């Protein structure tokens, strides 16, 4: 089976090649390019493709894949909000994803963003590099005793709750389906309004879909404690960035930690230091001292990369055997 691997960085190539030793029947071809209508012709003559979160798998792209007789899409990620699943189903192209590669990696990154913001480590580090050891402006707060709201308590949300309970936080959860494991850890389910009004920190761990798009907006912000900390390691479009900026100006949001951004597809995962072309909203976000942004690296740990490579190849092998 010939597989075109899109958005393939050197680290993806290394782990996929290492894992492919056990899957001789799969021949991998690596493309750094992001899959889009502009690059789609690269997928011609392949049996399957492998994609990542920033690849475009919209209806038009999938229609073209079907015309090339591509027989499967193997995602190297957990979320699949970038895929038109109805269109793939209509063309009988199975879409595989990697749901369980390392929930702890993302949960720990959410906690890292919280701990950077609450102790202002990002600002302290810059000061120390400049020889400034003054503490003025760096006053932090303890996590112990704080109320943390977790929206979405699947694999990553549950791992996040476990860590925050370990810190001595009171954890409130909201999900459309309760996870008994989270309750057994000591977290409490509540409705969204109560979570908003009682939480000092709110972390998003639900998928992006029609019901969660721009979940954080001016209306939900108005129900939260003034100065709330918002953390998003899930998908960028869960947060209305422009309304979050308004919330930052008004002090409604006290701290904002983002690993994802709505328009990240065009800029994240690239070294843009020679040619910075941020959109104006993103540029504005970076000017706030109480905002920390990382470039979708929540998943990016050694163990997660290996699990992603192994499962992607297993998924492709499963397709071969069907």
Q: Which one of 168-176, 222-230, 266-274, 281-289 is the stretch in contact with ligand NAD (CB under 6 A)?
A: 168-176
Using CB under 6 A as the binding rule, whether residue 156 contacts ligand NAD is answered as: yes
Which value, in Å, is the radius of gyration of the alpha carbons in the chain? 21
- Among residues 76, 155, 205, 296, the one annotated as catalytic is 296
Contact call for residue 259 and ligand NAD (CB under 6 A)? yes
Compute the C-alpha angle 257/261/265, nearest 5°.
150
173 near ligand NAD (CB under 6 A) = no
β-bridge pairing 170-174 and 72-75: unpaired
Interface positions, 1-60, toward ligand NAD (CB under 6 A):
none
Residue 193 falls in the annotated catalytic set: no
- Residue 264 annotated among the catalytic residues of the structure: yes
| 176 touching ligand NAD, by CB under 6 A | yes
Taking CB under 6 A as the binding criterion, the range among 126-134, 208-216, 267-275, 309-317 that sits at the site for ligand NAD is: 208-216
Pairs from 70-74 (Cβ < 8 Å, separation ≥ 24) = 70/43, 70/46, 71/47, 71/319, 72/47, 72/48, 72/96, 72/315, 72/316, 72/319, 73/48, 73/49, 74/3, 74/48, 74/49, 74/50, 74/312, 74/315, 74/316, 74/319
Transcribe 5-22 into DSSP letters.
E-S--HHHHHHHHHHHTT
Q: Residue with CB nearest ligand NAD?
A: 154
Cα–Cα distance between 45 and 32 in angstroms, integer? 18
Per CB under 6 A, 276 contacts ligand NAD: no
Active site residue 296: yes
Nearest distance from C-beta of residue 27 to ligand NAD, angstroms: 28
**Applying CB under 6 A, which of residues 73, 75, 78, 87 lies at the interface with ligand NAD?**
78
Least separation in angstroms between CB 123 and ligand NAD: 23
Which of these is catalytic: 235, 243, 262, 307?
235
Q: Which of 34, 97, 162, 264 is catalytic?
A: 264
Q: How far is CA 102 from CA 107, 167, 279, 306, in A?
A: 9, 21, 31, 10
Closest distance to ligand NAD from the beta carbon of 144 (Å): 25
To 5 degrees, how large is the angle CA 164–CA 168–CA 228? 60
- Give the count of residues interacting with ligand NAD (CB under 6 A): 30
Q: How far is CA 163 from CA 124, 147, 190, in A?
A: 25, 13, 19
Question: Which of 11-19, 27-35, 66-74, 200-208 is the region at the interface with ligand NAD (rule: CB under 6 A)?
Answer: 200-208
23: CB partners within 8 A, 6+ apart? 313, 316, 317
Q: Which listed range, 36-44, 67-75, 231-239, 273-281, lies at the site for ligand NAD (CB under 6 A)?
A: 231-239
Q: Which residues contribute to the site for ligand NAD (CB under 6 A)? A: 78-79, 99, 103, 106, 151-157, 174-177, 205-208, 211-212, 233-235, 259-260, 296, 298-299
Active site residues: 235, 264, 296
């Amino acid at each position: 089976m010939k597989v075109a691997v899109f958005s393939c960085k050197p680290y993806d190539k290394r782990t996929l090649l290492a894992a492919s030793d056990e899957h001789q029947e799969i021949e991998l071809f690596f493309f750094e390019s992001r899959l889009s209508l502009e690059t789609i012709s690269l997928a011609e003559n392949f049996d399957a493709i492998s994609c990542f979160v920033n690849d475009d798998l919209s209806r038009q792209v999938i229609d073209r894949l079907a015309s090339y007789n591509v027989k499967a899409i193997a995602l190297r990620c957990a979320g699949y909000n970038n895929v038109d699943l109805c269109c793939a189903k209509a063309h009988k192209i199975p879409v595989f994803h990697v749901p369980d590669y390392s929930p702890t990696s993302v949960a720990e990154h959410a906690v890292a963003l919280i701990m950077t913001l609450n102790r202002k480590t990002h600002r302290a580090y810059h000061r120390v590099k400049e020889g400034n050891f003054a503490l003025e402006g760096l006053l932090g707060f303890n996590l112990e005793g704080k109320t943390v709201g977790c929206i979405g308590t699947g694999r990553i949300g549950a791992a996040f709750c476990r860590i925050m309970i370990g810190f001595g936080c009171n954890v409130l959860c909201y999900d459309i389906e309760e996870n008994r494991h989270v309750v057994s850890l000591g977290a409490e389910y509540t409705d969204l309004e109560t979570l908003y009004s009682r939480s000092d920190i709110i972390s998003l761990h639900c998928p992006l879909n029609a019901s969660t798009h721009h979940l954080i907006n001016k209306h939900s912000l108005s129900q939260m404690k003034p100065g709330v900390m918002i953390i998003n390691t899930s998908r960028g479009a869960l947060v209305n960035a422009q309304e979050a900026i308004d919330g930052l100006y008004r002090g409604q949001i006290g701290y904002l930690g983002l690993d994802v951004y709505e328009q990240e597809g065009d800029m994240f995962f690239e070294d843009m230091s020679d040619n910075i072309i941020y959109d104006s909203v993103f540029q504005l976000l970076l000017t706030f001292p109480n905002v920390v942004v990382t470039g979708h690296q929540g998943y990016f740990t050694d163990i997660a990369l290996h699990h992603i490579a192994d499962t992607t190849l297993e998924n492709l092998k499963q397709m071969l055997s069907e």
